[in-house]
Amino acid sequence: MIESFRDKLINVLVKGKLIKQKDLDKALDIQKKLGGSLGKIVVEKGFISEKDLMVAMSSQLNIPPIDLSKYKIDKSITELIPERIAKQYSLVPISKIGRVLTIAMSDPLNIFAIDDIKILTNYKIDLVIATENDIKEAINNYYGSHGLEISKILEDVPEDIEIEKAEDEEERIDVSEVAEESQKAPIVKVVSLMLNEALKRRASDIHIEPSEKFLRVRYRIDGNLHDVLTLPKKNQNAVIARLKIMSKLDITETRLPQDGRFKINFEGHEIDFRVSVLPITFGGKVVLRVLDKSSLSIGLDKLGFLPGPLNTFKTALARPYGMILVTGPTGSGKSTTLYSIINQINAPERNIITLEDPVEYEVEGITQIQAKAEIGLTFASGLKSVLRQSPDVVMVGEIRDFETADIAIKASLTGQLILSTLHTNDAASAITRLIDMGVEPFLVASSLVLSSAQRLMRKICQNCKEEIDISKNVLERIGVRPDEIAKRPIKSFYKGKGCSRCSNTGYYGRLGILEAFLIDDKIRDMVMKKAGSDDIKDYAVKQLCMKTLRDNALENFVNGVTTLEEVLRVTSED
């Protein structure tokens, strides 16, 4: 009988006397209940060190071990296996001789991974063993385009900067030492490189997250987070202090959340970073929001909205007063839409005032106010003061309560154009949300000019798109009509295969989808009678010819701009 891979590993552990029988039994019981790799379980539970397991497996399986930290890998070798595959199977290619590709793996018993790599690369595979942590670090270093450079820079950081933490005691930080260290060339270079690489890769956010043993850096690209690299724990305080100093924050404050911002010049234009520091178990988590003002000057026409809902929006903006609402969940692009509108209507003859929390983009020619609830400057109190400044247009960052809603609506009835946002799933729900807050239906009916909802969806990467077949049954089931298929401008459907340009995701860039309807007499009558959002939406679709978010998304899919999976992901509630 052929010995299974799990039996081989058990043999390795037992013959080498590397684990107690009771610990092995416990690990086997965990595997039976939860699944997963036995090797990973015994290491995670502390029954054996990762290095001892590697050496024992190397001896028993006759596969040589390797210390990846002392090995330099040529970039042409790592390009043979995509980052996604390397992470999935915890492996990294290290050399190629003829038709033989040498792979370092933490689990050389994973025959499925080996078979997949053979098929993917069309090479014969030779194996060496490395620890999982070494492989993770190698992937971060060699696949992240700036990983090698950062590792080299950090070699210049002295070892004695590490701040030791006594057990069951608070971390004792020499602030002067950390402040001094954060200004040294290596740390300054690392932070600069991190920011520049984020901008090159079109990141909207940078997440710097302390853990027990290292500092993880992730970029949010096209709405999804991607691991970029890990930095040594010893550099954590200096990196965070550097970011705090750039943001003019107090580096001695480690117990309370902090907010700040800073600017850098990148490829000839100014980029703002909004900084949030949150105290967590292992230090301060820093999230940097990337705010590129140049993206606002493109106007509404360039946000990707389809002509129908876009024209509805433009009709509403031509009104001299009233309220326009943009709704959607966090991260759906509401702020960008509002700022694009402000940028488009900004003119010397208009007094435009915004009330925000926080002020995201600084725009010349308008008055911007930062709400500060801790000193009593709320949206409601701030809005009262703003209305005394004789504004033509007021943008309220978000309507969160009855008082703000009431003041904003009454302002829109006295000659101001009010722009604001709400957190609802669709355009019709904005009306019922205002009434639920306590606003009188007659005020909502009189003031509201337009209600809209939007989402952001990813576009197929044009560099690696490939044709796919989708059956008519599937298309009809999700709502694509045969006549739409017949008149579409392209003959095939597409998806992104994954390439270096799109970080093997198959997507590159995002566009907005929008549903919007103007408030007519019939809707005003429905609002007065407190009709439900479903009835209002049904009327808007049938009588006002409103295209829903799903309709917009499907049109982009039929036109070959995005994928069916993305349509379903973004408009799942429809």
Query: What confidence score (pLDDT) does residue 380 get?
Result: 87
Q: Give the pLDDT band (50/70/90) at residue 181.
A: low
Buried-exposed string 503-516: b where 16+ CB fall within 10 A, e elsewhere: bbbbbbebbbbbbb
> At residue 171, does pLDDT exceed 50?
no
Contacts of 34 (CB under 8 A, 6+ apart): none
Q: Give the pLDDT band (50/70/90) at residue 144.
A: low
Contacts of 117 (CB under 8 A, 6+ apart): 81, 85, 89, 91, 101, 103, 123, 125
Contacts of 365 (CB under 8 A, 6+ apart): 346, 348, 352
> At residue 160, does pLDDT exceed 60?
no
Average pLDDT, the chain: 84
Query: pLDDT by residue (tens digit) across 318-352?
Result: 888 999 999 998 888 898 898 888 888 888 899 99
> At residue 460, does pLDDT exceed 90?
yes
Q: Give the pLDDT band (50/70/90) at residue 168.
A: very low
Spatial contact of 118 and 91, defined as CB atoms under 8 Å apart: no
